[in-house]
Structure 1
């Protein structure tokens, strides 16, 4: 079941940060909206030196965007995006225009997308035999990717794997090889056992010890095959 990760509007010029897992739905609030949304324009940048894309202009969706089918404008002028992909990360700005003049300040929202993938396949499901080694990658896609380490340290953000009981998997666990090439990626390598049927490996992201979102991989074993599929769970 899909979940909305909603962030209430922050006052003044504060930026909002929204964390979401790929596959979920998200609502980005516009805290400077005028009534009826006909003055609302939403623009987007994937990263600081990328081209700005206009998603909504004066309350109307722009047709030439990749995400056109998945976008809608809420009655409160929020931007709703369905079935988030890792490509949706970035910097969203809500602006108000009346008679071609901008009213008030930008309302800025940073969208950070958590995505888990497997070394065996680029798709979300793949078959592997028990006894085979598999590596799962958990990555946070973020506008601040260039300075990921600095940003994550300053915001006290942690990315880590947990077992079904919710206990953090550590490097001292001999069954798992866990490595973090940088603060925005964590990989987990393990050899699949028959008793891994229906076992979940979940990647959590926390900010100041508060869970923001998580993405889960579940292993299914049918006959001699092990099927690895991606599923999501509300934080």
Structure 2
């Protein structure tokens, strides 16, 4: 996240992070920040005072700024408006120059419909001080979840208040897990200064693998309907069991008479005849 080159210190952060801009020229025996000034320039046209005699000046950004015990400038929850050139100034000492940059990844356009076609374009943007030279063509690269370098579409830059270096990557929409794309900002020796991960959420279409439907979010109505169906099935099962059990418990009627082709045999007369004999 920190790169020291001729002309100053380069810091790279993600949006929302806490940035610490060092004022390293303060020696260990001289930690008094009452003589420290911090200046800020978003572009070459203006410079603003952020800290005077160790105190943060009142501004819209002042609530997010403070000095630590080393007189370093601490900026909480950094945003694009914090990108630029900073300098720590002390009496009779050289200024410490710090360049703060932010790296983001977003789909292009940001509100693109995930079902529009089979591809999506990701844009890795490096926001930095406009006074710097344009980005090198290979200063931003893409890698996948296995670390394989992907063939991006080069690096372009735009000057809109600040220098914006953009590297697009077009990938095919596909179902499945563990898909991750990483944007890396590298120096001239291909040392990684910062990397930002992006895991796209692909929506399954009609022709996609149906096995991914299990990952679809259910609405409350879906759960209610499923509960009613299960309850109905259980109720039918109970009724059928009770009917079968009821039939099995019925006692067949006691038969005193035996019929054979309509002729009735009376056991009383048989017993009487035997006695007479």
Q: TM-score scaled by structure 2? A: 0.61
**Alignment check: 8 A CA contact 1:162 1:203 kept:** yes
The equivalent of 1:233 in structure 2 is none
Deviation at 1:180, TM superposition (A): 2.9
Considering only aligned residues, what root-mean-square deviation do their CA atoms show, in Å? 3.1
Structure with higher RCO (Cα < 8 A, 6+ apart) = 1
Deviation at 1:179, TM superposition (A): 4.2
Unaligned 5+ runs, structure 2: 158-163, 206-212, 216-277
Deviation at 1:168, TM superposition (A): 0.8
The equivalent of 1:28 in structure 2 is 21
Aligned with residue 206 of structure 1, among 186, 209, 214: 186
Deviation at 1:6, TM superposition (A): 5.6
Report how many aligned residue pairs link the two structures: 197
Aligned with residue 63 of structure 1, among 58, 63, 74: 58
Deviation at 1:7, TM superposition (A): 6.8
Query: Which structure: greater helix fraction?
Result: 2
Deviation at 1:202, TM superposition (A): 1.0
**Alignment check: 8 A CA contact 1:15 1:110 kept:** yes
Query: Which structure: greater strand fraction?
Result: 1
Q: For 1:1-235, what aligned pairs fall within 5 Å after superposition?
A: 5=1, 15-33=8-26, 34-49=30-45, 51-65=46-60, 67-96=61-90, 102-121=91-110, 128-129=114-115, 131-144=117-130, 147-149=133-135, 152=136, 158-170=139-151, 178-182=153-157, 184-195=165-176, 197-207=177-187, 208-221=189-202
Structure 1 residues 58 and 6: alpha-carbon distance in aligned structure 2, compared to 1, 3 A threshold: farther
Structure 1 residues 145 and 216: alpha-carbon distance in aligned structure 2, compared to 1, 3 A threshold: farther
Larger mean Cα displacement after TM superposition, 34-43 or 178-187: 178-187
The structure number with the bigger radius of gyration is 2
**Alignment check: 8 A CA contact 1:86 1:114 kept:** no
